[in-house]
Amino acid sequence: MAHIVSTRPLIDEGLSGVRDDHTLTVCDPPDGSTRSVDDLIALTDGADVLLSVLADPITEELFAARPELQMVAQYAVGVDNIDLDAAAAHDVAVTHTPDVLTDATADQAWALLLAAARRVPAADRYVREGRFERWETTLLMGTELSRKTLGIVGMGRIGTAVARRALGFGMEVVYHNRTRANPTVERQVNARYVGLDELLKTSDVVSLHCPHNEDSHHLLDAAAFANMKASALLVNTARGPVVDEAALVDALANGEIAGAGLDVFEEEPDVHPGLVEQERVVLAPHLGSATTGTRTRMAQMCVASITALLEGADHVPHRLV
């Protein structure tokens, strides 16, 4: 019987596969804070498997302190928080949950886009505060999306799913990627490959779906915002550091772009105060995968990987290390 430590509470239905056969310890910081490496070292005393989330710093220090650790099962697609080289050096398996959240995250991108375009949060506050006294001709004017141009940065699974939804809005889709997408995919979503500068100059909406790495860090900076339409909207459901938040605040304040919908933040969970103050920005607490079905399937994928490793299977699903 193995000892599995989960750093956050997950949907019980998804964890049923390990509760019966192993010892499962589910932790949650009482103050809602994120954990340090020292916290994780303390939590993993005697653990065989660590079930982690993106906010957990999984480092060389942790692996060195817990040589009995066999596996890190990441409850996420991204593994930015895990030192994969250190895991390999310490012979610790690492798995993640790819492909499961494509549609949920694409839906979230569109939810943020529609909310920003039609000023839904401001309208909601207006009604709740008792200010709705009569229909007005110019109240909370928004932006139509029909026949506008959607620029997608990162045409992977999620970016493609976002582009597919744009067909229903009659939008033109352009995209930028490190490599051009398969021509069949381009035809299916009626998307045109362009350089980043052209995408920024011509798009009415810029939606980010690229990974965060050295090349994409602050990909949208002051120069990028200056290149965008004054009427453009930015949507980010990718990674916070892809956007220079200080530059975004300045761009919004100076009218270089019209608004934004953000599900991720540069110093998450901290949010730049200038974004909080902006009426034209829609903010969400990293809800891209936050549907009951998706989060349950993510837990089930972690369980399948853990079970395979502990049972000595020849193949461990979704293994990176």
Question: Among all residues, which ones are annotated catalytic?
Answer: 239, 268, 286
Q: Which residues of 228-264 are buried (b: 16+ CB within 10 A; e: fewer)?
A: bbeebbbbbbbbbbbbbbebbbebbeeebbbbbbbbb
SS3 content of the chain, % helix, strand, coil (to 5): 35, 15, 45
Q: How far apart (Å, rounded) are the C-alpha atoms in residues 134 and 90?
A: 67
The distance of Cα 95 from the centroid of its chain, to the nearest Å, equals 18
Q: Starting at the edge strand that comes first in sequence, how are the strands of the sheet with 172-176 ordered?
A: 191-193, 172-176, 149-153, 205-208, 233-236, 259-262, 281-283
Q: Which of 302, 239, 313 is nearest to 74 (CA)?
A: 302
